[in-house]
Amino acid sequence: MSEDNLGALSHRLEALLVQRNLRGMQQLQAQMRPGYLLRAARILAENVGTIIIGTGFPVTTTFETDGPVGAIALYQALQKVGYTPVLACGDPLFTAIQNDYRCLQLKVNQLDRARAETHAHLATLKPSVVLSIERPGLSADNRYTNMRGEDISERCACFDYFVLDAECPTIAIGDGGNEIGMGNQYDALRKLNIIPCATGCDELVVADVSNWAPYGILAMLGQLLARDLLEDITPKAILEYLSERGSVDGVTRENTLTEDSLCFSAGEALIADIRQTVATFQDQNSPN
């Protein structure tokens, strides 16, 4: 597929990811430079190695489904094509998944100590890319808040400095405005009913549900690698795995197979739409 066609496909998938406009991401997307899915995919394609994937948003005493599902989908797909993914998260998510995935525990939320902890991990792991998905980001006053405006700083281990201080490229995913990476659009977010995150990144990707953004990135990466990286992604199975370990929906706060109150079938339908869109672009642009 030509560069122009790759760009056009990226734009189409970017629109698909915000078509529901649950939290104003269509308006935010209008402020962003198009082609960010393709640019994020190129970052991954050009930097094979250890990928630190930070995720896990605390809800009450546990963790929400949005974030870990997409992180695990990325982990599974990237591992198959030669990357070494590492899931960075705090408890209780870390304890829940550490036996099944390569994990890094985030322990510290005091910012003066967190930076030193971060630098030690970066020196050891030497990541080729740092990626954040639905991870709480520091506001301008160095606090963490949820969508309800509640201060959750005491329950958030800091991942911001992995994105801010890494010497490698960084990608961040969000769906509301309080997640790491949203600092790239800080001025635009101040118009929404949210305490925005001030932490930026190299490439920001937005979606109606953060879990869904990786599907767009993987679709574009698949074009660059000539692989279908979505064929084995099963949101329901990942949600079942997390539900058995105590996850809750971030909106309803109930232990259900949902993402931001949407049934797992919504994510599966989006994957089907993405794959169909990719197939249509390939058919339209194949040599006669």
Q: Taking 70 as the threshold, does the pLDDT of residue 157 lie above it? A: yes
Q: Taking 90 as the threshold, does the pLDDT of residue 2 lie above it? A: no
Distance CA 130, CA 55 (A): 11
- Domain CATH code at residue 118: 3.90.1640.20
Q: Taking 80 as the threshold, does the pLDDT of residue 8 lie above it? A: yes
Average pLDDT taken over every residue of the chain: 95
Distance CA 242, CA 152 (A): 22
Give the mean pLDDT of 73-90: 98
The pLDDT value recorded for residue 107 is 86
Count of C-beta atoms within a 10 Å radius of residue 122:
18
Residue identified by tokens 């960075």 is: 88
Q: What is the extent of the structural domain holding 8?
A: 3-284
Bond before 287 cis per omega within 30 degrees: no
User: Cβ(227)–Cβ(81) under 8 Å?
Assistant: yes
Taking only the tens place, the pLDDT of each residue in 206-258 is 999 999 999 999 999 999 999 999 999 999 999 999 999 999 999 999 999 99
Helix (H, G, I), strand (E, B) or coil at 87: strand
Q: How many residues does the chain have?
A: 288
Residue identified by tokens 């949407």 is: 262
Query: What is the pTM (predicted TM-score) of this model?
Result: 0.97
The pLDDT value recorded for residue 149 is 87
Q: Residue 264: exposed, middle, or buried by beta-carbon count in 10 A (0-12, 13-18, 19+)?
A: buried
Q: Taking 90 as the threshold, does the pLDDT of residue 68 lie above it? A: yes
Taking only the tens place, the pLDDT of each residue in 135-146 is 999 999 999 999
| % of the chain with per-residue pLDDT over 90 | 88
Q: Taking 80 as the threshold, does the pLDDT of residue 198 lie above it? A: yes
Q: Taking 80 as the threshold, does the pLDDT of residue 287 lie above it? A: no
Q: Residue 91: exposed, middle, or buried by beta-carbon count in 10 A (0-12, 13-18, 19+)?
A: middle
- Place 121 in a pLDDT band, splitting at 50, 70 and 90: very high
- Place 4 in a pLDDT band, splitting at 50, 70 and 90: confident
Q: Taking 80 as the threshold, does the pLDDT of residue 286 lie above it? A: no
The pLDDT value recorded for residue 109 is 73
Q: Count CA atoms within 13 Å of residue 78 on its CB side.
A: 31
Give the mean pLDDT of 99-115: 89
For residues 245, 194, 183, 54, the Cα torsion angle rounded to the nearest 10 degrees is: 0
Distance CA 250, CA 146 (A): 10
- Place 41 in a pLDDT band, splitting at 50, 70 and 90: very high
- Place 105 in a pLDDT band, splitting at 50, 70 and 90: very high
Rounded to 5°, angle at Cα 272 from 73 and 63: 35
**Residue closest to 40 by CA, chosen among 103, 129, 125, 117:** 129
Distance CA 232, CA 54 (A): 22
Number of domains in the chain: 1
Tokens of 235: 């949101």
The pLDDT value recorded for residue 250 is 95
Least confident stretch, 57-71, 93-107, 184-198, 269-283: 184-198
